[in-house]
Structure 1
Amino acid sequence: MFPNYIWDIASANKTIYLTFDDGPTPEITNWTLNTLNKFNAKATFFCIGNNIEKHPIIFQNILEEGHSIGNHTHNHIKGWKTKTEDYLANISKAQKIIHSKKNDSDNTINLFRPPYGKITTKQGNSLINKGYKIIMWDILSFDWDDKVSKETCLNNVIKKTTNGSIIVFHDSVKASKNLQYVLPKVLEHFSHLNYNFSAITF
């Protein structure tokens, strides 16, 4: 399904792609950056436009640490429940904020991840036609789910991750308890197996 979306990234080297949705968030994003830095790991942050506006310094911290940025809409809206023109406008609003903070040109390839993974075919095709790369995943950590224990969250990642996997975490308050337990252990585990942690770039 959805072959035009990116679910994993083939790599000749042992590479994992960590991604973080929903930030920047004062309570957890800087902790995430510090933890990644300890392992010389790069990641991709799918940011909410409204959160970038509220926390511009934290957003700059992400950029300064050398991570890549993706668009996660301006207000974390569901594609399935939003008219296509409204959905695209919301994404465009977030992208303008991202470009202004990054000093990007309009020719930059934009990364996008739909909140909740819910996007219609029409919405997806429209974004692809606008030059976006839609980044999905092959590993969900379920770090946001308070019914999922931190041990189960860790196992979700350790047991299923392979070379080229795109892993979804969240730098959000809701996910922080599980994330703070799981992320250091994931970084340590796969570092010992000689994996690299790379940002998604095209």
Structure 2
Amino acid sequence: MRRFVLGAAVTALLCGFTAPEATKDRAYYEKRGEIIWEVPGESKKIALTFDDGPYPVTTEPILDLLKEYHAKATFFVVGTRVEQFPETVKREIAEGHEVANHTFNHIYFQQKKNSEVMQSEIVRTEEALEQITGKKPLLFRPPGGFYNEQMIQIAKKYGYTTVLWSWHQDTNDWRSPGVQKIVNKVLKNARNGDIILLHDYVPRSMQTVEALKLILPELQKRGYEMVTVSDLIHNRDSVLNPY
């Protein structure tokens, strides 16, 4: 078997082939601080995140609920909808939530693309948000959670930290699986430092809104503080580097 492997490697070299790049897994990116999936710790803090908005039909009632339960959240927004619904973005900021970059056209980066396309998707949303809020967003989430080395480096180039979500907290609410399934996914798996994936753009579905009516009071009852992703990261950094 060793002879076969060695022979194949020699043949590949003689034919001009190169070995594929070694896979860079979650541990690699977490160690380098280039992607964040969750921020475990002793504090009972948890981050609710909402993708694909703004979309007033669902985003506005979500904001009402967050306000009612004194909860903060992070909204990963799509640039085209930012331009459509600037007032909803302004409300998110005014009420102490975090607004982050989720590309301009919700393009998936599961495969390498022209770097100019990737940069444009990030920069156009950044410019749209800066025009409305006066501030540059600091966090980036690739649509679908698809990423590659090229995307990571482009995000870093523009000053972003890439944020995904806790693997045990993917609610799949975009599929409209039923209110109780969304509720159970969050509450049965809640842990300190979780980053929970939800969506505030699910056309013709109010399941996420209805689920939040059960999730928010229960998390509050359990003693969780619902904070932005940046607050979660800052809390971790403060613990690791107290001085």
Is the TM value for this pair above 0.5? yes
- Of residues 108, 117, 123 in structure 2, which corresponds to 1:86? 117
Instruction: Provide, for residues 1-57 of structure 1, a one-character-per-residue CA deviation record: whole Å limited to 9, x for no partner.
Output: 132201112344210100000111021111000000010000000011110100111
**Equivalent pairs: percent with the same residue?**
30
Bigger drift between 149-158 and 186-195 goes to: 149-158
Aligned length: 198
Whether 1:114 and 2:142 are equivalent positions in the alignment is: yes
8 Å CA contact retained: 1:110, 1:131: yes
TM-score, with normalisation over the residues of structure 2?
0.77
Return the match for 1:131 from 141, 159, 166: 159
Aligned CA RMSD, in angstroms, stands at 1.6
Distance in structure 1 (CA, Å) of the matches to 2:134 and 2:158: 19
Query: Are residue 166 (structure 1) and residue 191 (structure 2) matched?
Result: no
SS at match of 1:163: coil
Between Structure 1 and Structure 2, whose CA radius of gyration is higher?
A: 2
CA contact (8 A) 2:126 2:137 kept: no
1:172 positional shift: 0.9
Q: Which runs of 5+ in 2 are unaligned?
A: 1-25, 235-243
Return the letter of the residue paired with 1:21.
D
Higher RCO (C-alpha 8 Å, min separation 6): 1
* CA offset digits 1:172-192 (Å, max 9, x no partner): 133843202211211111111
* TM-score of the pair, normalised by structure 1: 0.92
Report if the CA contact (8 A) 1:80-1:118 is conserved: yes
Q: Distance in 2 between matches of 1:186 and 1:84?
A: 40
Q: What is the aligned partner in structure 2 of residue 38 from structure 1?
A: 68
Inter-partner Cα distance in structure 2 for 1:125 and 1:175 = 36
Partners of 2:115 and 2:165 in 1: CA distance: 23
Q: Is the 8 A contact 2:179 2:207 kept in 1?
A: yes
- Where do 5+ consecutive residues of structure 1 fail to align? none
- For residues 100-139 of structure 1, the C-alpha deviation after alignment (integer angstroms, 9 at most, x for no partner) is 21112xxx56110011111222111221233201011001
How far apart, CA to CA, are the structure 2 residues paired with 1:178 and 1:129? Answer: 37
User: 2: CA distance between counterparts of 1:177 and 1:100?
Assistant: 30
Letter of the 1:119 counterpart: Y
Taking the TM superposition and a 5 Å limit, the aligned residue runs for 1:69-108 are: 69-81=99-111, 82-104=113-135, 108=136
Q: Which structure shows the higher helix fraction?
A: 2
